């Protein structure tokens, strides 16, 4: 039985692959089908690790993570609720105005990247108070508005608030100061 099976297998393997015989002036077509598929990746995450800005210097506040593999790219921008300053708040309920002569505190943001930014994208790793005062400040954008992105972005930005050292004495004075920064990821 095993011998007969071996003979059949040898016969099948030794049989040449034959095409179709054609008559003169005939033609025959067949096709190869090729496929390539990569799933779309468009991911954004913001994680806050701190919010208390107690002294001057560089204070870590969290991270922003972005993944994107689309050729039309994406954009990440920031908007400050108080135009790029820690705004002095009225601390006495029902009494209009600031009670102790508080003054707004300007700051900047710095971003430390880890990972890869896609070819055709660019990032702004330092955003000053003045840039936030003008509305939307871009963290990541296309390098050329009409260009295509050539490679995957998979990056994490550690985010820190920077209060200049010349504000240290102001940071020791009474008052409540706040700002809210909205970070928006926009897939293009």
Q: pLDDT per residue over 57-114, tens digit each?
A: 999 999 999 999 999 999 999 999 999 999 998 766 666 666 788 899 999 999 999 9
Q: CA dist 166 to 46, 101, 106, 170, 172, Å?
A: 30, 18, 11, 8, 12
Question: How many whole angstroms separate alpha carbon 88 and alpha carbon 80?
Answer: 14
pLDDT at 71: 96
Helix (H, G, I), strand (E, B) or coil at 133: helix
Question: How many whole angstroms separate alpha carbon 48 and alpha carbon 109?
Answer: 14
Q: Say if 18 falls within a structural domain.
A: no
**Cβ distance 86 to 175 under 8 Å?**
no
Q: What residues contact residue 60 under an 8 Å CB cut-off, 6+ apart? A: 49, 50, 158, 159, 160
Q: Say if 128 falls within a structural domain.
A: yes
Q: CA dist 141 to 74, 118, 136, 138, 148, Å?
A: 6, 10, 12, 7, 12
Q: Say if 1 falls within a structural domain.
A: no
In the structure encoding, which two tokens stand for residue 129, read together? 């108070």
Query: Residues 131, 152, 150, CA angle at the centre, nearest 5°?
Result: 90
Q: What is the pLDDT of residues 20-62, one digit of tens each?
A: 788 899 999 999 999 999 999 999 999 999 999 999 999 999 9
Q: Say if 148 falls within a structural domain.
A: yes
Q: Say if 8 falls within a structural domain.
A: no
Question: How many whole angstroms separate alpha carbon 45 and alpha carbon 185?
Answer: 9
Question: How many whole angstroms separate alpha carbon 160 and alpha carbon 110?
Answer: 5
**Residue 125, domain CATH:** 2.60.40
**Domains held by the chain: number:** 1
> Residue 113: which domain range?
42-187
pLDDT at 48: 98
For the entire predicted model, the pTM comes to 0.82
Q: Say if 25 falls within a structural domain.
A: no
Helix (H, G, I), strand (E, B) or coil at 162: strand
């Amino acid at each position: 039985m095993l011998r007969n099976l071996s003979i059949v297998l040898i016969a099948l393997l030794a049989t040449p692959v034959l095409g179709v015989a054609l008559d003169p002036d005939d033609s025959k077509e067949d096709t190869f089908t090729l496929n390539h598929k990569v799933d779309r990746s468009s991911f954004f995450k913001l994680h806050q690790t701190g919010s208390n800005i107690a002294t001057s210097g560089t204070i870590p506040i969290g991270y922003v993570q972005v993944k994107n593999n689309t050729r039309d790219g994406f954009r990440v921008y920031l908007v400050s609720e108080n135009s790029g300053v820690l705004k002095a708040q009225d601390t006495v309920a029902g009494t209009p105005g600031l009670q102790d002569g508080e003054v707004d505190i300007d700051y900047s943001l710095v971003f430390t990247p880890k990972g890869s930014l896609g070819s055709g994208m660019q990032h702004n790793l330092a955003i000053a108070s003045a840039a936030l005062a003008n509305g939307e400040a871009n963290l990541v954008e296309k390098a050329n508005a009409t260009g295509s992105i050539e490679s995957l972005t998979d990056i994490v930005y550690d985010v820190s608030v920077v209060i200049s050292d010349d504000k240290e004495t102001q940071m020791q004075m009474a008052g409540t100061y706040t700002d809210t920064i909205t970070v928006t990821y926009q897939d293009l």
